[in-house]
A = this chain, B = another copy of it.
Amino acid sequence: MKTSSLRSSRIPQVKQVEFNTIASSFGGLSTQTSLLHKYLAATEYPLLENPIKRGLLRLPTSESAPRLAAGIRQAFIEYGPSSTGHDKCALFLVQGGERNIFDQRHLEYELQKSEDPVLPVFRLPFSEILQHTSIADGAGRQLLYKPPQLPTHTFEVAVIYMRSGYGPSDYPDQSAWEARYHLERSAAIKCPTVLAQVAGTKKVQQVLATPETPSNPPILSRFLPGKSAEISELSSTFTNIYPLDETEAGLKARKIALDPELCKSYVLKPQREGGGNNVYRTAIPEFLKSVPEAHWTSYILMELITPPPVRNVILRNGKLQQGGVICELGIYGTCIWDQQAKTVLHNEQAGYLLRTKGDKSEEGGVAAGFGCMDSVAL
């Protein structure tokens, strides 16, 4: 999972942008990016026209690659021993023609750095789940995987790490939904389960963040009973987010969204992952009018965070761009819990991702073609 935040300029504080619970990417490359910047800081920055002396910058390495791998390893261990007599494995569920492979590979390499325990990893396109996996007969519901390159081998899948399964194109037909259901009912530890995936939607973020009113009772206190200090601290990281339904908050939001002036401070978000799906500012009224009103509730309206102005240079596709930039910090985490026992078995911070984009660009997704990889200087 990954929590992304922006520093707000109006009141200098951290504001939550989103919370990703599926396919949080670039953890593999973020470690490499921070190493790249450390290397440049040692070798090139001292030679700039305005030199930065070696050792002057505090450039923490992003430990995202080893720490995300450590989370997968921990899940592999928590799964327990194989009960089918087959060796255990982890499955990386990827997209067809996967472009993010160079990010994902770093997690695979990290997983092979330890042999305690040996952890075989296989990459499987989401579209081939039903072809190469089956569920064992009996109450164990073990997920069995036969590598297509050697179908005489069978592995018991301990961990499913999903780098797919979050967008409409991953579910082109009924069999894709059956494949997801098939995984879900298996005994493998899913990263994530459907429940955890849904918990990361913008709708849930909105439900947690919508300002409390008489018709909108407090939600956070249900999850943090009696912890008013924590609730207050947590709430302060939220920006205003509204539903577009017919509640009091929703009706207020509809008014804002359709107003050509008020809409300028907002972004309209559907329940999607991966960037490129949001509608910004003055584009909102026209867009909303083009959507049947019955579908409005599938969007949320979020007040834009205004980060402080920063100037920097972005290198992207071999071209340098200089100007105002916005930095979005993501903090990875790995969490393993027992749904039935309601106990958390593992809950760890897992490194960071910094994405920087030009301040004229609304979107921030790196793979979607907007932001670029960065690392922090403290």
Contact = CB atoms under 8 A, between A and B. Distances in A.
A42 B147 contact: no
A112 B39 contact: yes
A54 B120 CA distance: 11
B118 A54 contact: yes
B47 A153 contact: yes
Nearest to A49: B150
Copies in the complex: 2
B150 A42 contact: no
A43 interface: yes
A109 interface: yes
B112 A43 contact: yes
A83 interface: no
A39 B109 contact: yes
A200 B54 CA distance: 39
A315 to B, nearest CB: 16
A174 interface: no
Residue in A54, A120, A147, A153 whose Cβ sees the most chain B Cβ within 10 Å: A120
Contacts of A112: 39, 42-43
A149 interface: yes
Interface string A16-38: 00000000000000000000000
A120 B43 contact: yes
Contacts of A42: 112, 115, 118
A267 interface: no
The 5 lowest CB-CB distance pairs between A and B, nearest first, are: A47-B150, A42-B112, A39-B112, A43-B112, A47-B153
Interface of A: 39, 42-43, 46-49, 54-55, 109, 112, 115, 118, 120-121, 147, 149-150, 153
9 contacts: A39-B109, A42-B112, A42-B115, A43-B121, A46-B120, A47-B147, A47-B149, A47-B150, A48-B150
